[in-house]
Structure 1
Amino acid sequence: MPKVVFNNPFFFNNVRKNIDKVLKTKIKETTGGKVFYKKSCTFLEKKLKAKKVVITNSCTAALEVAALLINVKSGDEIIMPSYTFVSTANAFVLRGGKPVFVDIRNDNLNINENLIEKSITKKTKAIIAVHYAGVPCEMDKIIKIGKKYNLFIIEDAAQAIFSKYKDKFCGTLGDIGCLSFHETKNITSCEGGAIILNKKKFFKKASIICNKGTDREYFNKSLRKYYSWRGLGSSYIPSEITCAILYSQLLNYKKIFNERKKIWYKYYLALKKINSKLIENKKLYSKDVSINYHMYFIICKDFRVRTKILNVLNKIGIISTFHYIPLHMSKIGSMYFKKKLNVTEELSKKIIRLPLWIGMNQNKVIEKLKKILNN
């Protein structure tokens, strides 16, 4: 019997058509004046009701741009959850920043907003809100803290495109938002990302940063006779082929959303019927939020149970996995942070992520999981 892989990106027919258009053009510009790059930016600005969106090579690149935009310097402290991908920390460490890790909530694995304030010092520069599994953080409280202490609020919305917090899209609530279009994400361009600029003061600086530190964008718009080196930056703008793939996916975002929602709820209802003491199966979000059905995970009774379930699933060809090793427990992370984070450490040992992709054989996964849990 064929394997049920953990992830399998779904592409629509117009992807090939868009790529062919790019390949047939005589001038294959890579940093400006591009059809699909501009269309993708405009689409996201309109859909998200965002002031400005810049498509980047990756969410990692978007986070690095964010660190440059807020001018992170040596010794600046950046508050963030430890339960996140390494790019959340790396982007700021590269600029000399120090990650200050805060424990997560027991229900949705997002940063515990009630623990943030006691981690703030005179060196604190920003708070990073990571919307884990596409479930929005408690942004009202986080934004209130940011205003009280004059801190930047950056949303790592890598997993949360089109998720909403109180009718506003993730990535548009703080000062800056970062999205991912990696192959594992709902909307994918194979590799890619975007930075959402919610303050006009960031627009010009972001353009310089993303264009290798030059004012080339203004040169391309005939607003300059030449372009030159104006500040720090790098090659953060993706190719037009990447944007051609992205735009075709964006046009089909409703289909993607609806299909993932069906799969998500089928897991939820099926596992709810099992009612096993070996796992927790919760909705994990409140009435104030709407999610994008990015991920379906279960929380096992303990590490031993998780290990046994994962071993059996993978042995029978259902590729499931755990998630992050908490950053504060890593070799590098422990150099910056020495405290324990009890909830983070406990839940990271219990989580299992189940396959979730359009076209998968979900019945097989549910049947086998039922059998494992009942036995």
Structure 2
Amino acid sequence: MDTIPFNRPPITGREIDYLKHVIDSGNLAGDGPYTQKCHAWLASQLGSPHALLTHSCTGALEIAALLCDIQPGDEVIMPSFTFVSTANAFVLRGATCVFVDIRADTLNLDETLIEAAITDKTRAIVPVHYAGVGCDMDTINAIAARHGLKVLEDAAQGLGATWRGQALGTLGDFGALSFHGTKNIVAGEGGALLVRDDAHAEHAEILREKGTDRSRFLRGDVDKYTWQDVGSSYLPSELTAAFLLAQLEDSQAITARRLAAWQRYRDALLPLEAAGKLRLQAIPEEARHNGHIFSLVLDSEAQRTRVLQALREQSIQATSHYVSLHASPAGLRHGRASGALSVTEHVSSAQVRLPVYADITESDQARVIATLCSAL
């Protein structure tokens, strides 16, 4: 019996050609022509005034934290149900993470709980668009405006998804994307920072280039570059950008195939949800998602264990997801919970993610569905 992998990165066929072109050029370092093409694609296709490739989404989040001038003692509001990079970017600046519960339907930050978590130390809100499903950005931006806070979107899973027709990552002050090998559009490792404000964009270039104005030098704006501010090396190599460009050029087709696979699962499992055997992630009418994750939440951790075991016995790679940050060793040291996080704790203990990728076959999905149904 062939194994059905949890994920299989898409390959367009042009990656090797682009990589060879970079190697033949001898220009392997970052910010070459392929990087610039990726910047232009992201800016035009997402409607972002400024887009900068980074070596990871983690790096993009770290730049955003620097741009917000996060200082020791500051507080940053975020969900506990997220990857550790969301928190690390701010903990590295000395901030305290204030964890807020998620919604049971969308698995996104519960916007109704944000204001209760705001104190005089709060500096920013970090919505995480889980599975490429948009948070309620209207409410979140309105709260931020009332309290004078920055909004940093963790859109690691959000490329190709929108909220009210606007690309995820472009609705707040800053957005961070990921092109990690597990994402819809991949570069092995890689990310991007999206910046709305012109002044912040110029500062972001400096932070990204080790604190120098090298980007201005490469454009011919200055005849030499110098150390301008604290920064680090956040840019990816030209090899990474070349691979990514091939992916970006086919991103609409890749996303369409993932959405078709996602919908096949949903159509098959809706009767089980109606029967109360599981809960599927809800998609708000304002959101257009990208099929990044197919999530279902069961009744208990014990039931999840049984289901995952049944899938493994049929050579199907399914998995759970995040361990709640607020209950982790580092989360206890560097953060605090705002109120009860009961939804987060239940989802963390009872969630299952099914295999979904652009090239999964209908027959493989049928095997997954049959195994799941027999296990419930």
TM-score normalised by L of structure 2: 0.96
Shift of 1:294: 0.7
In the alignment, what sits opposite 1:347?
347
User: For the structure 1 residues 332 and 155, does the alpha-carbon distance in structure 2 shift closer, same or farther, using more than 3 Å as the test?
Assistant: same
AA aligned to 1:154 is: L
User: For the structure 1 residues 364 and 27, does the alpha-carbon distance in structure 2 shift closer, same or farther, using more than 3 Å as the test?
Assistant: closer
The answer to whether the 8 A contact 2:268-2:369 is kept is: no
In the alignment, what sits opposite 1:373?
373
- Quick one: distance in 2 between partners of 1:241 and 1:31? 8
Please list the CA deviations of residues 63-94 of structure 1 after superposition, one character each: whole Å capped at 9, or x if unmatched: 00000111110001000000000000000000
AA aligned to 1:177 is: G
Shift of 1:243: 0.3
- Quick one: distance in 2 between partners of 1:262 and 1:235? 38
The answer to whether the 8 A contact 1:277-1:301 is kept is: no
Please list the CA deviations of residues 196-218 of structure 1 after superposition, one character each: whole Å capped at 9, or x if unmatched: 00111201110110001111111
AA aligned to 1:330 is: S
The answer to whether the 8 A contact 2:255-2:358 is kept is: no
In the alignment, what sits opposite 2:336?
337
In the alignment, what sits opposite 1:21?
21
User: For the structure 1 residues 236 and 291, does the alpha-carbon distance in structure 2 shift closer, same or farther, using more than 3 Å as the test?
Assistant: same
User: For the structure 1 residues 12 and 218, does the alpha-carbon distance in structure 2 shift closer, same or farther, using more than 3 Å as the test?
Assistant: same
Provide the secondary structure at the position in 1 that maps to 2:302: helix
Shift of 1:126: 0.1
In the alignment, what sits opposite 1:165?
163
- Quick one: distance in 1 between partners of 2:179 and 2:299? 33
Which of 252, 272, 279 is 2:277 aligned to?
Answer: 279
The answer to whether the 8 A contact 1:278-1:305 is kept is: no
The answer to whether the 8 A contact 1:129-1:156 is kept is: yes
- Quick one: distance in 2 between partners of 1:340 and 1:167? 33
- Quick one: distance in 2 between partners of 1:278 and 1:60? 38
Moved over 6 A (4+): none
1:243-254 mapped onto 2 (5 Å cutoff): 243-254=241-252
In the alignment, what sits opposite 2:10?
10
In the alignment, what sits opposite 1:356?
356
Shift of 1:5: 0.9
The answer to whether the 8 A contact 1:278-1:373 is kept is: no
In the alignment, what sits opposite 2:117?
119
Q: Does 1:216 align with 2:214?
A: yes
Which of 46, 49, 63 is 2:47 aligned to?
Answer: 49
Provide the secondary structure at the position in 2 that maps to 1:185: coil
The answer to whether the 8 A contact 1:58-1:180 is kept is: yes
Shift of 1:259: 0.6
In the alignment, what sits opposite 1:308?
306
The answer to whether the 8 A contact 1:276-1:374 is kept is: no
Moved more, 348-357 or 81-90: 348-357
Shift of 1:368: 4.6
Please list the CA deviations of residues 282-310 of structure 1 after superposition, one character each: whole Å capped at 9, or x if unmatched: 35112111111111011112211111000
| RMSD after superposition | 1.5
Please list the CA deviations of residues 225-255 of structure 1 after superposition, one character each: whole Å capped at 9, or x if unmatched: 2211111111100000100011000100111
Please list the CA deviations of residues 135-181 of structure 1 after superposition, one character each: whole Å capped at 9, or x if unmatched: 00000000000000000001000001121111111111000000000
AA aligned to 2:93 is: R
Q: Does 1:240 align with 2:238?
A: yes
Number of equivalenced pairs: 373
Shift of 1:275: 5.2
- Quick one: distance in 2 between partners of 1:310 and 1:279? 15
Shift of 1:18: 0.4
Which of 81, 84, 108 is 1:83 aligned to?
Answer: 81
Shift of 1:107: 0.2
Provide the secondary structure at the position in 1 that maps to 2:183: coil
User: For the structure 1 residues 287 and 278, does the alpha-carbon distance in structure 2 shift closer, same or farther, using more than 3 Å as the test?
Assistant: closer
In the alignment, what sits opposite 1:31?
30
Please list the CA deviations of residues 327-373 of structure 1 after superposition, one character each: whole Å capped at 9, or x if unmatched: 00100101221564111001111110001112224433433543443
- Quick one: distance in 2 between partners of 1:372 and 1:126? 41
- Quick one: distance in 1 between partners of 2:25 and 2:218? 18
AA aligned to 1:305 is: Q
Q: Structure 2: any 5+ residue segments left out of the alignment?
A: none
In the alignment, what sits opposite 2:136?
138
Provide the secondary structure at the position in 2 that maps to 1:242: helix
Moved more, 108-117 or 299-308: 299-308
- Quick one: distance in 1 between partners of 2:284 and 2:27? 49
AA aligned to 2:226 is: S
1:200-215 mapped onto 2 (5 Å cutoff): 200-215=198-213
Q: Structure 1: any 5+ residue segments left out of the alignment?
A: none
AA aligned to 1:301 is: D
Shift of 1:27: 3.5
- Quick one: distance in 1 between partners of 2:201 and 2:103? 34
- Quick one: distance in 2 between partners of 1:236 and 1:372? 42
Shift of 1:272: 2.1
AA aligned to 2:30 is: T
User: For the structure 1 residues 81 and 171, does the alpha-carbon distance in structure 2 shift closer, same or farther, using more than 3 Å as the test?
Assistant: same
TM-score normalised by L of structure 1: 0.96
- Quick one: distance in 2 between partners of 1:119 and 1:113? 11
- Quick one: distance in 1 between partners of 2:358 and 2:290? 14
The answer to whether the 8 A contact 1:56-1:238 is kept is: yes
Provide the secondary structure at the position in 1 that maps to 2:280: coil
